Structure 1
Amino acid sequence: MVLPVKKEKLQIFRDVFKSFRWSLGILKDFRIRLYLYIFILFLHALYEIFLTSRIGSIVDLALQDNMESLITRGSALVLFYILNIIISITSNRLAAHNYNGMYNELELKVYRKIMDSSWEDLTEYHSGDLITRLSSDIKCVAGNTSGLVPTMISTLSLIVFSGIYIILLDFTMVLVAILVVPIVVLASRIYMGKIYRSQKEIKEVESRINSYNKETFNNIQAVKAFGLGDIFYQKMNDLEITRKNADLRSNKYSLCSWGISFLVAIIGACICIGWMFYRVHLGVITFGSLSIMAFLAMNVGQSMKSLLNLIPTIMEFMTSAERVKRLMELPDEEDFVDERMNDFSEKINNGVAVSIEDMYFKYKNGYSVFEGASLEANPGEIIALVGPSGEGKTTMLRIILGIVTALKGKVFASNGIDTLKLGKQTRALISYVPQGNTMMAGSILENMKLVKADATDEEIKEVLETACIYEFIENLPDGLNHMLGENGLGFSEGQNQRLSIARALLKDAPILLLDEATSALDVATERKVLNNIMIKDPKKTVILTTHRPTVLTMCDRVYRIANKKVSVIGESDIQTLMDEF
């Protein structure tokens, strides 16, 4: 049982080094600044030893009653301490620049990685967990890369230099060091594994708390409507108790580790002091040397205490670095570059068709959605996808968007002259209105310009009219500058849907995908919006999913998705759906 524990502790030390090396790798632009900071701290440690040696010489001068030299060296010592203050201020300022630069760089890199990562792999993480990793974990990694490791190096340097200087003053002190130092190091490692596990649990619980908070606030209306406030409060209380217990366990193990190590260090210090006084009694060293050794021993003690206090921080750093590293290792979504894309985009005046032939698809969890599916949507057509919930309507749109990739078969776009495989690159040809509310906090104008930053007021007015929402916005006191709350708070679901459709139209892409995008509209408005879209751009290819058959009579073709197959249904089947509705 002892061997695995030793291996675990050895692995922890390796992980600390790996975490630092990884963070340096991802923040390589800051290496020179970080090395400069470490070098300054290294020099500062040497300077501290120099100041201590000056104090010893002043003590000897005082005992010799040499007042002139005492005043001269005392004045010089004051200047040396002023310089020490300047060095400390400079190093702290550099540390602040390093931290802020690293935090900004790492945050942007992780954010970019999340944006570029495979959608399927991202769904393994709750959005609250992603926010935790993007905020507190990045803050921890940046802070400890810029501060913890340099501090450890400078502190260890001070301990080593102090020890060397003490031994130079009295070589017999090496025997005391050989006796005390290994015991202190071994004592500090006793609880290291438990501290690491506690810190890991704390991070996991914090992610769960953030995820739970996000779920609660996103659904606060339902929570209130069902009278679930007390139940949600109790769940939050349970999570906080779990976090508190993990934090207290980490604190307990840290204090035990620190207490044992510090006790051993105090005993060692007492032995050192006793031995130094004995050497003074023998006349081997002077009182000045005794003063230097006492100051240095005190520095060593304080430095050891500082290092021991860093153990929980080291464990937190390792945990956060691992969590951020996992995000950075997520695979990017499939991105192929077809050099014909520019030529293809210049030849879309007659619209773009979507073709799917003998397509197979299943998610990474093994769930199969399509087997031999085929579909065609041509310019000027409205194509509807119907079928039971969960059979693959939204998945079909994801495949067209290239958010997920078919295992087999052909999925391509055609401009009548050439064809391109549909994927990330071809999203420029597609406007998309997903299920649910996708309006963001901010003004209506800001939401519109997300898809076209240089859109004119006339262009925005035109798409708002097409989506049958312009009259409503025109009557608002601040018009397009009206502020929306989170998820379009302040507008009805139907109003938000029409705004989302208008925003998609502003992109002016030849293909329009509508995923239950008119579900909150009344039948008359729904039909009018779709009719307006086709009048505005008769060559637009529209593919929509719906559970409402009232719009199916406007569609050129209706595909039923069920049992992993896609099939065209006839007018009689459409009429049956309408009758059942």
Structure 2
Amino acid sequence: MLYRGLYFKELFRIISGMKRHKWKYLTVLLISCLDYGAAKILIGFLNKDLINSVVQNDRQLLVRAFVTAAVCVVLSCGFYPLVMYEIGKSVKDYMLALRTGAVKHLLNMPVSGVYGSSKGEMMSRLTVDLNLIDTSLTEQLWSVLRDIIYGIGSCVIMLLLDPRLSAVVLLLGIASALVNSVYLKKSKLLSDMIQKKLGTLSQQLIDVVEGSRIQKMYGLDGIIKNKYSSENGQIARFQMKRTVVSAKIDGINFMLSTFNVIGVLGIGIYMFLSGLIDIGSIIAVITLQAGVTNMFLQVGVFLSQLQGSMAGAKRFFEFMDEAEEVSVQALKEGSGLGAAEEDMLVLKNVDFCYDRSSKLLDGVSLSVPKGKMAALVGASGSGKTTVIRLILRFLEHGSGSIFLEGRSIDAYSLEELRSKISYVQQDSFLFDCSIEENIRLGRPDSSKEDIVEAARTACADEFINRMQQGYDTRVGENGVLISGGQKQRIAIARAVLKDSPVLLLDEATSSLDSENEFLVQKAIDNMVRDKTVLVIAHRLSTIRNADIIYVLDSGRIAEIGSHRELLGRKGLYYKMYVSGLKTVI
């Protein structure tokens, strides 16, 4: 079967996804191709009548030629542009919906799915691959269908004019199609590899931008340049191989096309001299031969280009098929039993593992009374941050139950659950916009006065007002234009503005110097009043005033108690306290 292995599944999915635009697009696409083919075929009749009118001195043929020419002008210059405009409009409307849907899907993906993927790969799929879908609909699919319709129409007319000459054209055309099908398979494989490598290259560029400070600090320019050059070189080699394949196709097609013209012309002259055909019909067949040639030769080229676009479409749809977050989970066995009303946040025998080989959390149970602060401490890798992510449902726990306000978190919608929780992490993310806009994200409908008050609570108002543009100061990508302490206080102001009853702090001061730690800690102290707080921290100053401390060891709760009680037991917490020189745990 010719051209098997093409991405027909992806092409069908693209067309089906156009929904209400689908039939309009297909209709105008077909009309434009018919219009193009009709105009080209009429030129063959025009040439036939013009030549015969001169040879036979027939004025009627000359008049008919001028009428045919007028119809060609109307089809080519009048109707055709309008149809092409409608094709472009249908595709642009679809691409608008597709890009919007892609961003919506990205927002609905679980955090583990987003952070588990390469940024470069994802960006490549959302930009390069989407643009390839656009090109396939506006140019490549139209070119393939246009030449097929033009070619079939030319075949039919040629057979009516003279079957013998037509047979020569068709035999050479079929031979060309067989040769093209062999090279198209190679082109398909190379297109796949090129698209994958482009995603890897995008990730390397992101690393160069985001890691510029480390790169300069450690003198990594040469290593990074060599790594990028190596990857870029592989892409160039694959592209060159695809170019060689395309060049072979073009060379073979040109040779076959030349033989076709010479063969038809030679046989046609012989038939004319034998009195078997008029000279006008020979010219008409040679004119229509271009349609047959394009169908067998150029369709192969356009299909090769379309394959490259469909390789991108395949990668894009793989991204779109990634699972989204489930807003409301089916309640796990025993999870609907509830928890004591005085406990705002409760974990009961919670397990979690990334794979079946080992548990990251094993039977973890803890409770945080309403309005109290609980601290979770433990060695790196003991599972502290995983507990936070399970509460927020960034990850889904295995057996056991998690309750918020006496209700299983599986019974909440994600929006409702997360509206009840404020979260400040070690390296809080800021968007590339103004300080005011970053804080306002905590509660989008808040007033300027609310934002200023939140900043004061977070000990951020003073340094913001010292800036030349104050609250209108842009922070740069992920807060690169401000200090780490300022960035953290803006993130705290955002959490203050959200004003949720539960606050989760994940090592919010661990990466700061003493001065910034003091200011951020003061901001946290202001924020936690009347809140239910679960804090993960290494620094003693953050957790010593916690109402209860849970010590996590290898995924299990090893000790529970206040700071004084745990020191008195001289267990794991005591050892951590001593080894941390009484300042860091």
Give me the TM-score of the superposition, normalised by structure 1: 0.90
What corresponds to 1:288 in structure 2? 280
1:136 aligns with 2:128: yes
Q: 1:352 to 1:127 in 2, by over 3 A?
A: farther
1:410 aligns with 2:401: yes
Q: Where do residues 373-384 of structure 1 align in structure 2 (5 Å cutoff)?
A: 373-384=364-375
Q: 1:424 aligns with which of 414, 418, 421?
A: 414
Q: 1:288 to 1:503 in 2, by over 3 A?
A: same
Question: C-alpha separation between the residues in 2 aligned to 1:550 and 1:79?
Answer: 88
Question: C-alpha separation between the residues in 2 aligned to 1:275 and 1:191?
Answer: 31
Contact 1:209–1:236 under 8 Å retained in 2: yes
What is the Cα-based RMSD across aligned positions, in Å? 2.5
Q: 1:70 to 1:174 in 2, by over 3 A?
A: closer
Q: 1:509 to 1:517 in 2, by over 3 A?
A: same
Q: 1:34 to 1:71 in 2, by over 3 A?
A: same
1:247 aligns with 2:239: yes
1:358 aligns with 2:352: no
Contact 1:469–1:495 under 8 Å retained in 2: yes
What corresponds to 1:527 in structure 2? 521
What corresponds to 2:378 in structure 1? 387
Q: 1:143 to 1:367 in 2, by over 3 A?
A: farther
Question: C-alpha separation between the residues in 1 aligned to 2:232 and 2:112?
Answer: 30
Q: How far 1:119 sits from its partner (Å)?
A: 3.0
What corresponds to 1:511 in structure 2? 502
Q: How far 1:333 sits from its partner (Å)?
A: 1.9
Q: How far 1:381 sits from its partner (Å)?
A: 1.5
Give me the TM-score of the superposition, normalised by structure 2: 0.89
Q: How far 1:164 sits from its partner (Å)?
A: 0.8
What corresponds to 2:5 in structure 1? 12
Runs of 5+ unmatched residues, structure 2: 332-340, 568-572
Contact 1:435–1:517 under 8 Å retained in 2: yes
Q: How far 1:247 sits from its partner (Å)?
A: 0.4
Residue identity opposite 1:408 in structure 2 = S
Question: C-alpha separation between the residues in 1 aligned to 2:316 and 2:328?
Answer: 27
1:324 aligns with 2:316: yes
Q: Where do residues 220-239 of structure 1 align in structure 2 (5 Å cutoff)?
A: 220-239=212-231
1:442 aligns with 2:428: no
Q: How far 1:118 sits from its partner (Å)?
A: 3.0
Q: 1:359 to 1:338 in 2, by over 3 A?
A: closer
Q: Where do residues 18-417 of structure 1 align in structure 2 (5 Å cutoff)?
A: 18-44=9-35, 45-66=37-58, 70=62, 73-74=65-66, 77-78=69-70, 80-336=72-328, 353-364=344-355, 366=357, 368-414=359-405
What corresponds to 1:344 in structure 2? none
Q: How far 1:370 sits from its partner (Å)?
A: 0.7
Question: C-alpha separation between the residues in 2 aligned to 1:22 and 1:203?
Answer: 19
Identical positions, percent: 22
Q: 1:494 to 1:208 in 2, by over 3 A?
A: same
Q: How far 1:400 sits from its partner (Å)?
A: 0.4
Question: C-alpha separation between the residues in 2 aligned to 1:237 and 1:328?
Answer: 31
Q: 1:80 to 1:186 in 2, by over 3 A?
A: closer
Q: 1:126 to 1:163 in 2, by over 3 A?
A: same
Tell me, what secondary structure is at the counterpart of 2:400? strand
Question: C-alpha separation between the residues in 2 aligned to 1:462 and 1:338?
Answer: 40
Mean Cα deviation higher: 548-557 or 132-141: 548-557
Q: 1:499 aligns with which of 490, 506, 512?
A: 490
Q: 1:376 to 1:313 in 2, by over 3 A?
A: same
Tell me, what secondary structure is at the counterpart of 1:390? coil
Contact 2:25–2:91 under 8 Å retained in 1: no
Question: C-alpha separation between the residues in 2 aligned to 1:381 and 1:156?
Answer: 74
Q: 1:498 to 1:521 in 2, by over 3 A?
A: farther
Mean Cα deviation higher: 129-138 or 220-229: 220-229
What corresponds to 2:547 in structure 1? 556
Contact 1:128–1:211 under 8 Å retained in 2: yes
Question: C-alpha separation between the residues in 1 aligned to 2:342 and 2:105?
Answer: 33
Residue identity opposite 1:246 in structure 2 = F
Contact 1:250–1:312 under 8 Å retained in 2: no
Q: How far 1:450 sits from its partner (Å)?
A: 2.4
Aligned residues: 557
Tell me, what secondary structure is at the counterpart of 1:23? helix
Question: C-alpha separation between the residues in 2 aligned to 1:306 and 1:453?
Answer: 55
Question: C-alpha separation between the residues in 2 aligned to 1:149 and 1:518?
Answer: 56
Tell me, what secondary structure is at the counterpart of 1:59? helix
Q: 1:352 to 1:485 in 2, by over 3 A?
A: farther
